Structure 1
């Protein structure tokens, strides 16, 4: 699988078409002497460009959540990291965000590739009409996924009462150099995402040519994520069930722990074990990298974050181990390989289903769904079914499990924004630093990220404005 994905033959015209070298480069002049894609194979190869088109960078969201440990050196060198990591609401993050931020530029670079496929695949050469439609549909789904990440990073969370009047992000639908665009409303962006999905769905295969090619299961799972973010629990549940009908497998982390127990329990050894969360992970619907696409090892998490995991969580124990280096103590990542932190997985869909059931008042069903996940995670010596008698109790269990299960992905950030805006199941972050208690309130402006200053200063063929004041 890995060899197949890495056989990218079109790097030259990726450099031509995407342009990630500067803040306005995706709208710059096209370099001379580069190959232009013509055949369907050319366009299909773009879907396999995992490091460029399948990277979901959310570094500042991870900093804000304190889900990724940052060293003092990093915090001192990157002022924006420090502002988010310590929840400093007095800092103007707009002025700090004056470099090429990968979250923005990598996303729009990928969108440019997907636009190119969508515009040209149906008229490409050397392929059947059915084959052309499949590639076109894959690109539609991936574009929708990428815009979902952008709107939930740089704009306020969805609220049906205000979504039509609040701005989201620039909508670019053409790969043409200097293509015009508009910064559309949040409602218009969600409508666009759903339209892309609706148009793609009839042409998607059950499974794609590789795990980078989203099939029906990935589409249904993503639909469930979108509708959950829109607080449409009926639709989210319906699509969650459709996704689980395509794939309902859960990886047995208790078995992984048992297999690697000697190494995991060796408190003085930090030799890494192999990641099961790679291209072949049985929970995958589709694969996309997270903030890092390196195979060296998993991100380190803060020591305080480790206390939020459930006792006996084999998934946590298998992935992180307490380590002290000098004055720093943290949970060191003890797995190496690749990690599906940007794609859709069955565990997310189970937890979407559990929340929707709880919202409908189906408390027992929600807990059964949640415990189905937990049985593959919690070691037998610590396991007991979680129970609830109210929606609030069920939600507390689901929220904790989901935030831990989807750590280092964009999902916890989206979820907390959604819960905070609803005002019922709010999340206040808190920690003690040098004897001082720091908090991040549910209503803080910091839950929306500022656009990079370079993008504002070099907008290309359109205009857009910041969605935050600082």
Structure 2
């Protein structure tokens, strides 16, 4: 919402993408305004066109997607097809990886604010500390995405030696660009988010601005990925203690009557949605995903998430003309204020409920976990179609909770990371099969191909950055 007004406060971070090793774009580009006052830094951090974007391609690597239609495949860009195929490389040596670039741009801008704000002019100390904390939450989000895309999942026994991503904590260009360990990256993430918890107000005036609630929510995400279920539970509960309202889909059934548009077009924006804790839009700006038959079966036809967020063959056909074939998720059904048509990937109340439920089940409180999930499900079905989930033991309860997590968060950016962390449990391992015309591509549990390759352009410019094995 601030992008058009403040896009003159842009600082682009690039690793030597454009010239020589270890080089950033000039910090004082000609014709740009360099922040010197607290207000300048606030405008920099309010640039939602930078800070409130996230990755957009990750769903193609998961079991939520299956290419069953040749016309869809033929119209797909090379990058998306490479991700779907878990190819050796996603980008050629002369191509940029937009996700890598985006997150390091966010990190660079956050570092500019963190370093500059203590000596900034014309602002009180409380506001300085608030803005530094906001910058740290944004930086933590960027590193949480990077380490989950481009590195192994967190393992307690090997995180201190597994390669993560380059860890940059200041805007200078003399830093070591060798990949830090997964453990070191998570240490920075946790430290930054705890700074947000200690400093920020419970809620912000805009959902594009980090809050204490958002910091707790991202801590819950991080601890879940680390397998620290008690701390994930604690932080999800703290986030829900601040923001817990659910959005009931039932009142929007029939909202599009007479318009020629599906009811999903009339759902509120993320800024207006009470479930959204921190807005982060998918960076691809829109598009559709052909959902796998397995996911469509899991959703079923009575689930309102199927009704609102997918298209399947019905009596009225496809009134919009935007779907390639039945069983399609379309991001136009996830309206986002700063990037129309983009999916909301930031933390939400349902995600915190699902983390709480999973962690309860993993700490021998499975029935309490199912009770949390059932509260969510009541808003996802017509009253006549709602059925409470029940389980006879903790293992079955955990499976039901994880299935509900997949239903609620499909195409919201979490599935690849879930597959990586769940594959360490022998009871939950899974081989993914991707159909591609006459081929059946497979991804084995724990495969290196779950990890994104480091962009070749980055490695060529910075030889000290080690490539991921394939």
Distance in 2 between residues matched to 1:327 and 1:151, nearest whole Å: 33
**Does the 8 A contact of 1:148 with 1:193 survive in 2?**
yes
What residue in structure 2 maps to residue 412 of structure 1?
415
Q: Supply the distance in 1 between the matched residues of 2:91 and 2:325 (Cα, whole angstroms).
A: 30
Partner of 1:192: 188
Q: Quote the Cα distance in structure 1 between the aligned partners of 2:169 and 2:322.
A: 48
CA distance in 2, matches of 1:375, 1:271: 19
| 1:213 and 2:209 are equivalent in the alignment | yes
Q: 1:319 aligns with which of 290, 309, 326?
A: 309
**Alignment CA distance shift 1:263-1:362 (3 Å):** farther
8 A contact 1:29–1:177 mirrored in 2? no
- Tell me what 2:290 maps to: 301
* C-alpha displacement of 1:270: 5.8
Cα distance, 1:327–1:215 mapped onto 2, change above 3 Å: closer
On the 8 A contact 2:193/2:216 being kept in 1, the answer is no
The verdict on how the C-alpha distance between 1:120 and 1:341 changes in structure 2, with shifts beyond 3 A counting, is: same
Give the structure 2 partner of residue 44 of structure 1.
42
What residue in structure 1 maps to residue 17 of structure 2? 23
Give the Cα–Cα distance (whole angstroms) in 2 for the partners of residues 313 and 271 of structure 1: 14
How far apart are 1:179 and its partner, in Å? 4.5
Tell me the equivalent position of 2:83. Answer: 84
**Residue 273 of structure 1 corresponds to which residue in structure 2?**
265
Given the alignment, which residue of 264, 275, 279 partners 1:283? 275
In the alignment, the residues of structure 2 paired with residue 327 and residue 34 of structure 1 have an alpha-carbon distance, to the nearest angstrom, of 44
Alignment-derived partner of residue 63 in structure 1: 60
Aligned to 2:339: none
- Cα distance between partner residues in 1 of 2:190 and 2:263: 44
2:233 aligns with 237
- Greater mean alpha carbon deviation, residues 250-259 or residues 333-342: 333-342
Q: Contact 1:402–1:412 at 8 Å: present in 2 too?
A: no
**Could you tell me how far apart the structure 2 residues matched to 1:69 and 1:53 are?**
31
Against the structure 1 CA distance between its residues 315 and 435, is the aligned structure 2 distance closer, same or farther, given a 3 Å change threshold? same
Distance, in Å, in 1 between the alignment partners of 2:392 and 2:24 is 55
| 1:93 partner SS | coil
1:32/1:436 Cα in 2 relative to 1: closer, same or farther (>3 Å)? Answer: closer
Find the counterpart in structure 2 of residue 331 from structure 1. 328
Partners in 2 of 1:97 and 1:341 — Cα distance? 31
Contact 1:97 1:450 in 2 (8 A): no
3-state SS of 1:169 partner: strand
Structure-2 separation of matches of 1:66 and 1:24: 36
Matched, 1:134 2:130: yes
Which moved further from structure 2: 108-117 or 32-41? 32-41
How many angstroms does 1:274 deviate by?
2.8
- Say which SS state the counterpart of residue 126 (structure 1) adopts: coil
**Distance apart, 1:73 and its partner CA:** 2.8
Q: For 1:215-257, what per-residue CA distance to the aligned partner results, in whole angstroms no more than 9, with x for missing partners?
A: 1111111111111111111111111111110011111012222
Q: What stretches of structure 2 of length at least 5 have no aligned partner?
A: 313-317, 337-341
**2-structure distance, mates of 1:326, 1:347:** 27
Q: Deviations over 1:410-443 (max 9, x none)?
A: 3222111100023331233235554654432222
Over aligned residue pairs, what C-alpha RMSD do you find?
Answer: 2.8
> Which of 394, 399, 409 does residue 397 from structure 2 map onto?
394
Closer, same or farther in 2 for the Cα pair 1:99/1:66, shift >3 Å? Answer: farther
Structure 2 counterparts to residues 307-386 of structure 1, below 5 A: 307-322=297-312, 328-331=325-328, 333=330, 335=333, 337-338=335-336, 341-386=344-389
Q: Does the Cα contact within 8 Å between 1:431 and 1:438 map onto a contact in 2? A: yes
> Alpha-carbon deviation of 1:22?
7.9
Indicate if the aligned counterparts of 1:313 and 1:377 stay in contact, CA closer than 8 A.
Answer: yes
Q: Report if the CA contact (8 A) 2:374-2:389 is conserved.
A: yes
- Whether the aligned pair in 2 keeps the contact of 1:274 and 1:336 (CA below 8 Å) is no
Q: Distance in 2 between matches of 1:263 and 1:413?
A: 38
Contact 2:89 2:453 survives alignment (8 Å): yes
Decide whether aligned partners of structure 1 residues 162 and 177 sit closer, same or farther in structure 2, where only a CA change above 3 A counts. Answer: closer
CA gap 1:336/1:248 in 2 versus in 1, 3 angstroms: closer
Aligned with 1:366: secondary structure? helix
Whether the 8 Å CA contact 1:22–1:100 is kept in 2: the answer is: no
Q: Which runs of 5+ in 1 are unaligned?
A: none
Taking the aligned partners of 1:272 and 1:133, their CA distance within structure 2 comes to 40
> Which portions of structure 1, spanning 4 or more consecutive aligned residues, are displaced by more than 6 angstroms?
324-327
